[in-house]
């Protein structure tokens, strides 16, 4: 019932605590040079012995994708994330390689990237051309069970104000091929250049959504429904809403935190949609600016409220998100976990901040890769 696992028959929908699944993308690296390696296919073939179809290729030969089965219990989901990370890392070791959970490559020559052989990617290259140059980037996707596509589109309207906060709390891509970009989430800036990427538009109905998709397809903007790259999108195949705005989280614990927060936002939105609230109409310019500020500062500075345009501390925006979703977090039983982990995140820093801390010790990007290799599988929370 989610994009993360096929289901043989429909699963009952629970609006108060929907099932949730996670997809993550990892970079394959050479543990000696610390540069990204184009040998992802070898890692996937090895990892498939344990993960089966839950591991797959991505657009470049440097990336591995892994997926969890859906779960209602976030403790179970976290364990599934940890297992797939450990299995992928073990498969890489079997091939003399390693994997890291980072939104961008720390070291390596990836422009232009080596693209995975697949007819769909061939069409994509012909359509999008040099937009692929910065596609060696890794995201974290959360899938929430939501079988009603009309509801899914309306829920998306309610999620839009919170997307910059999700970017800030999971920022994990400050480096790009040997240098610090000055951004906490450089992946976000790389991604928003695509024609159908970034925050989704406001839709008054599913019919409006379908009409726009039809027009974009006719105009040659889309290769297929999978190239709707908006940061929130209803699945074209399965009854899910996919939230795909963030960098791949640095640790399994942060991935579970993200899933808990996203599910609570969806549950909150479902209640508002049921009450007839179509969601706030935001200024596209303010939302774009809020994305940029969140990508630049992460949790270490200020952010822009896309609702009011106010410049607020990232901490204040995070507090507002928790207040907004608190009843849903209580309903799902995730409030304590979310509160504790957000407190840890504020004290310790995002993945981006921790990458920079590793770099600052001796000024060597290789040390960042070493840190990421350890964090990807071991986690960081005590």
**97-114: pLDDT as tens digits:** 999 999 999 999 999 999
Q: Is residue 360 part of a domain?
A: no
Backbone Cα Rg of the chain: 19
Counting the structural domains of the chain, the total is 1
Give the span between the Cα atoms of 320 and 329, in whole angstroms. Answer: 14
Mean pLDDT of 252-273: 98
Q: Does 143 map to a domain?
A: yes
Confidence bin at 381 (pLDDT 50/70/90) = low
Q: Residue 235 has what pLDDT?
A: 83
Residues 6+ apart with CB under 8 A from 128: 194
Task: Tell me the average pLDDT across 347-371.
Answer: 97
Q: Which domain holds residue 220?
A: 20-350
Please report which confidence band the pLDDT of residue 124 belongs to, taking 50, 70 and 90 as the band edges.
confident
In a domain, 327, yes or no: yes
Tell me the C-alpha to C-alpha distance, in Å, between residue 111 and each of 27, 62, 326.
Answer: 15, 12, 43
Residue 5 is predicted with a pLDDT of 41
Establish if 34 belongs to a structural domain: yes
User: Per the domain annotation, does 180 fall within a domain?
Assistant: yes
How deeply is 276 buried, as exposed, middle or buried, from its count of CB atoms within 10 A (0-12, 13-18, 19+)? Answer: exposed
- Any idea what the CATH number is for the domain that residue 72 is in? 3.30.590.20
Domain for residue 14, yes or no? no
Would the pLDDT of 2 be above 60? no
Evaluate whether 263 touches 334 at the Cβ level (below 8 Å): yes
Query: Is residue 376 one of the residues assigned to a domain?
Result: no
| pLDDT above 70: percentage of residues in the chain | 97
Instruction: Say yes or no to pLDDT of 347 above 80.
Output: yes
Residue 338 lies in a domain: yes
Reported confidence tier of residue 226, pLDDT bands at 50, 70, 90: confident
């Amino acid at each position: 019932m989610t994009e993360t696992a096929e289901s043989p028959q429909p699963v009952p929908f629970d609006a108060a605590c929907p099932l949730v699944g996670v997809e993550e993308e990892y970079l394959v690296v050479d543990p000696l040079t610390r540069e990204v390696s184009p040998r992802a296919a070898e890692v996937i073939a090895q990892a498939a012995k344990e993960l089966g179809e839950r591991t797959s290729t991505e657009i470049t030969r440097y990336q591995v994708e892994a997926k969890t089965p859906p779960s209602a219990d976030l403790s179970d989901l976290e364990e599934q994330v940890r297992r797939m990370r450990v299995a992928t890392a073990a498969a890489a070791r079997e091939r003399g390689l390693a994997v890291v959970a980072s939104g961008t490559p720390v070291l390596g020559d990836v422009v232009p990237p080596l693209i995975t052989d697949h007819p769909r990617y061939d069409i994509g290259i012909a359509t999008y051309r040099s937009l692929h140059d910065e596609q060696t980037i890794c995201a974290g996707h959360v899938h929430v069970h939501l079988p009603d596509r009309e509801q899914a589109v309306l829920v998306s309207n309610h999620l839009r104000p919170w997307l910059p906060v999700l970017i800030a709390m999971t920022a994990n891509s400050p480096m790009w091929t040997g240098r610090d970009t000055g951004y906490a989430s450089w992946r976000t800036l790389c991604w928003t250049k695509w024609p159908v990427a970034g925050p989704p538009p406001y839709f008054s109905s599913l019919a409006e959504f379908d009409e726009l998709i039809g027009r974009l397809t006719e105009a040659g903007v889309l290769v297929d429904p999978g190239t709707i790259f908006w940061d929130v999108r209803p699945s074209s195949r399965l009854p899910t809403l996919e939230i795909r705005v963030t960098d791949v989280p640095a640790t399994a614990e942060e991935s579970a935190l993200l899933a808990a927060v996203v599910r609570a936002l969806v549950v909150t939105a479902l209640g508002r949609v049921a009450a007839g609230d179509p969601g706030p109409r935001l200024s596209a310019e303010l939302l774009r600016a809020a994305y940029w500020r969140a990508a630049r500062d992460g949790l270490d500075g200020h952010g822009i409220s896309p609702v009011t345009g106010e410049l607020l501390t990232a901490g204040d925006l995070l507090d507002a998100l928790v207040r907004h979703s608190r009843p849903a977090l209580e309903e799902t039983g995730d409030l304590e976990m979310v509160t504790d982990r957000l407190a840890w995140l504020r004290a310790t820093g995002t993945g981006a901040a921790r990458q920079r801390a590793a770099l600052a010790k001796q000024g060597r990007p290789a040390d960042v890769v070493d840190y990421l290799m350890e964090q990807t599988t071991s986690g960081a929370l005590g």
